[in-house]
Amino acid sequence: MAPSDGKAADYKSDPGSGGPSQKARRQSEGGQAPVIPDTCNLGIVLRTLVPLNALAVVGAIALSSGPIESGLRFLDIALVLEPVALGSLALLCLLRKGVNGTTRWVQWAVALGVPAALASVTALLVPRFAPPDTGDGTAWWVLGRAILAATLAWLFAVYFQLRARAFSPSFSEARLQALQARIRPHFLFNSLNAVLGLMRSDPRRAEATLENLADLFRVFMRDARELVPLDDEVVTCKEYLAIEQIRLGERLRVQWLLDGMPGDALLPSLLLQPLIENAVHHGIEPSAETGTIEIAITQPAERVRVEITNPLASVPPTRGGNQMALSNVRERLMLLYDMEAELKTGVESGRFRLQLEFPYRKERRRRDVRRYFDPDR
């Protein structure tokens, strides 16, 4: 099961990214986070819409004297609020790439101006119940909504900036570094021992195993934030399993179902390997019998879905660290994808089943995934 092609060695899919961009990132670390957050991101969308609507409900209740009136008030507010909020998020998402490079004055102007403008337009279009109908009243009605929209936009912009600072590059990077999948000493020493055991009887296999081990270590020592194509991550997993195969022999069987896999999808390096190691550790190692690990990767809509199942061992593994790998991967997903990734586990027909889903992104948008670390490019 040695790597048959040059892929394994050529992990850096974008050789140019190491140099200048790295420097740019370091330089930008000192600067402030951009005014406009990535408003296409699901997390940001929810963090905007939920409080806004909550505010609308509270306002509607405060301004009315009965439940029915509250409902009507809320509808009244929502009629303006929803189109302005959704429209602003969408527009800012389109504009932010161009604007975030400019001076902060421009950024603020766009961040507050877009919601204000949308609010004005909506206020003109939407029929209102409140009198009076004089020209002066209409002007104030429109201006009032615009000021309200700009104020709310300002509050949200400040909130998201504070949040970005909390997840600031140095903080998140330190966190990610700590979470970086580490090679288990147990695995290292057992693998070296297995190689020594093969050295005299089967030197070729010993060689192939050392090559796999070298590749694996190269990946392990790489930057935890680096994004790699799914194809490469699968090669890493296969190399890892080839080493385990030597140790565990016929006890370990692996079934790959990769027909629907989008090989060009980008994901953080070493996202899958720890999950597969976990499956070996909990499903195969504790049992003396043969067990099969099934790994299926598919692409439902614009997402990548990874499903891993392994047998449930009757006895717990001899070493601890049960939930470590899973909680580690979970936290990494949170830092990298916020709410757009999902990791579920459960037991299904006597097997442990894990399902991981994350957004399907190709080379083109690779940097967006790192928005918290270098949001500015």
Partner 1 sequence: MSDATSILIVDDEAPARARLREVLADLSPEFMHRIVGEAANAPEALAQIESQRPQIVLMDVQMPGMTGIELARHISARAAEADHDAPKPMPLVIFVTAFDEFAVEAFEVNALDYLLKPVRAQRLLGALKRAQTLLPAEHLEAIDQLVKATNTRRRHLSVHERGRVILVPLEQVLYLKAELKYITVRTREREYLIEESLTSLEDEFKDRFVRIHRNALVARPSIAGFERVTPTGEGEAGDPYWQVVLREVTEKLPVSRRQWSIVKGLVS
Please identify which residue in 163, 222, 247, 366 interacts with partner 1, judged by CB under 8 A.
Answer: 247
* CB neighbour class for 325 (10 Å; exposed up to 12, middle 13-18, buried from 19): buried
* CB neighbour class for 355 (10 Å; exposed up to 12, middle 13-18, buried from 19): middle
Q: Which two tokens stand for residue 83?
A: 């189109």
Q: How many CB atoms lie within 10 A of CB 134?
A: 9
Q: How far apart are CA 57 and CA 67, in angstroms?
A: 11
**Residue 148, C-beta contacts closer than 8 angstroms, at least 6 positions apart:** 119
Which residue, 171 or 189, has its beta carbon nearer to partner 1? 189
Residues from 200 through 239 that contact partner 1 (CB under 8 A): 200-201
Q: Report how many residues bind partner 1 under the rule CB under 8 A.
A: 26
Q: How far apart are CA 366 and CA 377, in angstroms?
A: 11
Window contacting partner 1 (CB under 8 A); options: 15-23, 69-77, 102-110, 184-192: 184-192
Q: Which two tokens stand for residue 136?
A: 């002066």
Which residue, 115 or 311, has its beta carbon nearer to partner 1? 311
Residues from 282 through 301 that contact partner 1 (CB under 8 A): 285-288
Q: How far apart are CA 218 and CA 233, in angstroms?
A: 13
Window contacting partner 1 (CB under 8 A); options: 69-77, 83-91, 182-190, 365-373: 182-190
CB-CB contact of 333 with 343 (8 Å): yes
User: Crossing angle for the helix pair 104-125 and 67-99, nearest 10 degrees?
Assistant: 140
Residue 68 in contact with partner 1, rule: CB under 8 A:
no
**Residue 226, C-beta contacts closer than 8 angstroms, at least 6 positions apart:** 12, 268, 269
Residue 279 in contact with partner 1, rule: CB under 8 A:
no
In whole angstroms, how close is the CB of 305 to partner 1 at the nearest point?
A: 31
Q: Specify the DSSP element, H or E, that contains 162.
A: helix 135-166
Q: How many CB atoms lie within 10 A of CB 302?
A: 9
Which residue, 35 or 284, has its beta carbon nearer to partner 1? 284
Q: In Å, how far from its chain's centre is CA 134?
A: 52
Q: How far apart are CA 240 and CA 270, in angstroms?
A: 11
Residue 185 in contact with partner 1, rule: CB under 8 A:
yes
Which residue, 282 or 370, has its beta carbon nearer to partner 1? 282
Window contacting partner 1 (CB under 8 A); options: 6-14, 128-136, 312-320, 369-377: 312-320
Please identify which residue in 5, 315, 349, 364 interacts with partner 1, judged by CB under 8 A.
Answer: 315
Window contacting partner 1 (CB under 8 A); options: 19-27, 58-66, 144-152, 315-323: 315-323
Residue 350 in contact with partner 1, rule: CB under 8 A:
no
Window contacting partner 1 (CB under 8 A); options: 17-25, 94-102, 233-241, 245-253: 245-253
Residue 246 in contact with partner 1, rule: CB under 8 A:
yes
In whole angstroms, how close is the CB of 315 to partner 1 at the nearest point?
A: 6
Hey, which residues does 274 pair with through a beta bridge? none
Q: How far apart are CA 106 and CA 269, in angstroms?
A: 37
Window contacting partner 1 (CB under 8 A); options: 101-109, 226-234, 252-260, 279-287: 279-287
In whole angstroms, how close is the CB of 271 to partner 1 at the nearest point?
A: 25
Please identify which residue in 12, 23, 182, 186 interacts with partner 1, judged by CB under 8 A.
Answer: 186
CB-CB contact of 52 with 87 (8 Å): no
Which residue, 198 or 228, has its beta carbon nearer to partner 1? 198
Please identify which residue in 22, 193, 255, 323 interacts with partner 1, judged by CB under 8 A.
Answer: 193
Q: Which of 344, 357, 356, 371 is nearest to 44 (CA)?
A: 371
In the stretch 249-278, what mask flags binding to partner 1 with x, by CB under 8 A? Answer: x-x---------------------------
Which residue, 93 or 188, has its beta carbon nearer to partner 1? 188
Q: Specify the DSSP element, H or E, that contains 279.
A: helix 273-279
What residues make contact with partner 1 under the rule CB under 8 A? 185-186, 188-190, 192-198, 200-201, 246-249, 251, 285-288, 315, 318-319
